[in-house]
């Protein structure tokens, strides 16, 4: 389970743009140089970001990219989802079935588990905006995340019949 460089690069690039004055376009060439990311790769990434309406492009000489919305209206989650495959793609099995489409999901514990995990991650990443990150010069102060009670219902009658065997097609 990893975040791809594509996702990380995208966040870095957007952060870079966000550090510039609101209306001055930033060229990919500049970002490439500053962040040490391949220009060609950036171009590919920015197509997704543009289509996802995270950035707007200004073509021509002295053109570049500009945030399409207010930094406080762009979340890390949005960016990451544009560039990563979804964390929660499918059932317990690889990819045989579409999301939420396993016909034995009701009796499947893994189903709930992975789905909860995906929602947790999305919730976290969606709770952080670009504005949050640029107004923060340094990260030292940044913390207040706390998981309160994250247990799976501990109190439940012990069941004795085996769960129906999970059949595979």
Partner DNA sequence: AATAAACTTGACTTTTTTAGTCAGGTATCT
Partner DNA sequence: AGATACCTGACTAAAAAAGTCAAGTTTATT
Q: Give the bridge partners for 129, in sequence order.
A: 75
Residues 6 or more apart whose CB falls under 8 angstroms from that of 156 comprise none
Closer of 86 and 163 to DNA (Cβ): 86
Smaller CB distance to ligand FES: residue 48 or 90? 90
Assess contact for 68 and 54: CB atoms under 8 A: yes
Measured over the CA atoms of residue 122, residue 127, residue 132 and residue 136, the dihedral's sign is: negative
Only one residue has tokens 């079935």, namely 97
21, 85, 154, 165: which one contacts DNA (CB under 7 A)?
A: 85
Q: Is 92 in the site for ligand FES (CB under 6 A)?
A: yes
Is residue 150 a contact partner of residue 119, using CB atoms and an 8 Å limit? no
108 binds its own copies (CB under 8 A): yes
Residue with tokens 């999305």: 122
Q: Does 5 bind DNA (CB under 7 A)?
A: yes
Bridge partners (DSSP) of residue 75 are 129
Task: State the minimum distance, in angstroms, from the CB of residue 60 to DNA.
Answer: 3
Chain residues binding ligand FES by CB under 6 A are 91-92, 102, 104-105, 108, 110-111, 166
Chain residues binding DNA by CB under 7 A are 2, 4-6, 9, 25-29, 38, 40-41, 43-44, 46-47, 50, 57-65, 84-85, 94-95
């Amino acid at each position: 389970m990893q975040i791809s460089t594509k996702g990380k690069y995208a966040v870095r690039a957007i952060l870079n743009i966000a550090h510039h004055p609101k209306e001055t376009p930033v060229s990919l060439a500049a970002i490439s140089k500053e962040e040490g990311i391949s220009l060609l790769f950036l171009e590919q990434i920015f197509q997704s970001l543009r289509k996802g309406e995270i950035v707007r492009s200004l073509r021509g000489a002295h053109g570049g990219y500009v945030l399409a919305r207010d930094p406080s209206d762009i979340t890390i989650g949005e960016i990451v989802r544009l560039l990563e495959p979804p964390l929660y793609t499918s059932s317990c099995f690889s990819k045989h079935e579409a999301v939420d489409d396993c016909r034995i999901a009701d009796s499947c514990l893994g189903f709930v588990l992975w789905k909860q995990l995906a929602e947790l991650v999305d919730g976290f990443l969606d709770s952080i905006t670009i504005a949050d990150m640029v107004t923060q010069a340094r990260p030292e102060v940044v913390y207040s995340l706390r998981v309160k009670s994250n247990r799976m219902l501990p109190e439940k009658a012990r069941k004795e019949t085996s769960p129906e065997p999970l059949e595979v097609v």
